[in-house]
Amino acid sequence: MSNSDHIINLEPIAYIDSDFKEKFATPRQPGLVTEAKGKVILQAPYNQADAVEGLQEFSHIWLIFGFHATAQQGWKPKVRPPRLGGNAKLGVFATRSTFRPNPLGLSLVRLDKITTEKDVCLLVQGADLIHGTPIYDIKPYLPWVESQPHASSGFAPDEQTLELPVTYSEQALNALANQPSLQALIEQVLRHDPRPAYQNDPTRLYGCLLQEVNVQWQVLDHQILVTSISRA
């Protein structure tokens, strides 16, 4: 059997409209930022109500997606996981690195609602996907078979999850007035410290685009200071 007999041609069935507009500060794993909202918009010819009938009975779904922002950089047999400080290397198949032979990812998200009035859209929470990420498949999550609470997680145990406190400048607080959902989103994103693991410069100012605002912050004495928030 030739190699060509094993080739599968994939095309996106959907794209996601996400709160995260760029790679930097997008969560490294799904579910870390529960306030992150997304809209999975099915594309023709898959945007049919029949294709999602029964899916509303599931609370969570798997999204199989493409690492479109880094796919052109190719794959690497060894990569530097952020959990190891960005210095130690592991085999790519022991990590969730984007630099894979086939640039595919898997994200478990909460399914809030399905709308079919105009487009067929899945409203989801907790996705770790950049705006415009192509979705190649959607599958329901089955907790009775897929949840393994006693499984080991290698070099990435849950006790390594950061929870840095987040504080605000006066300007930032004023910009967030009467926007509790946006504030919750910002705090959930920043408390996990999205900086590259090798950077630890307290004088450096970082910035990211969340929803439609630019957020700038510093890391001072193991806490996040949001210095400014402005419209994008």
Which pLDDT belongs to residue 50? Answer: 96
Cis check: omega of the bond before 202, within 30 degrees of 0: no
Which pLDDT belongs to residue 80? Answer: 86
Distance CA 226, CA 171 (A): 9
Which pLDDT belongs to residue 185? Answer: 95
Q: Domain check: are 21 and 102 in the same one?
A: yes
Mean pLDDT for the chain?
A: 90
pLDDT at 103 over 90: yes
Q: Domain check: are 97 and 186 in the same one?
A: no
Domain count along the chain: 2
Paired strand residues for 138: 63
Distance CA 71, CA 224 (A): 32
pLDDT band at 2 (very low <50, low <70, confident <90, very high): low
Instruction: Count CA atoms within 13 Å of residue 42 on its CB side.
Output: 21
* pLDDT tens profile 48-85: 999 999 999 999 999 999 999 888 889 989 988 877 77
pLDDT at 160 over 70: no
CATH label of the domain that carries residue 176: 3.30.2310.20
pLDDT band at 28 (very low <50, low <70, confident <90, very high): confident
Q: How far apart are the first and last CA of the chain?
A: 54
Maximum Cα–Cα distance for the chain, whole Å? Answer: 67
Predicted structure pTM score: 0.89
Which pLDDT belongs to residue 78? Answer: 93
Distance CA 185, CA 18 (A): 12
Contact yes or no for 165/191 (Cβ under 8 A): yes
**Residue 224 lies in domain:** 162-231
Q: Domain check: are 141 and 178 in the same one?
A: no
Please state the rounded mean pLDDT for residues 148-170: 82
Q: Does 83 reside within a domain?
A: yes
Rg (CA), the chain: 19
Last residue of one domain, picked from the residues 119, 146, 173: 146
Q: Domain check: are 185 and 116 in the same one?
A: no
pLDDT above 70: percentage of residues in the chain: 94
Q: Domain check: are 53 and 123 in the same one?
A: yes
Q: Does 136 reside within a domain?
A: yes
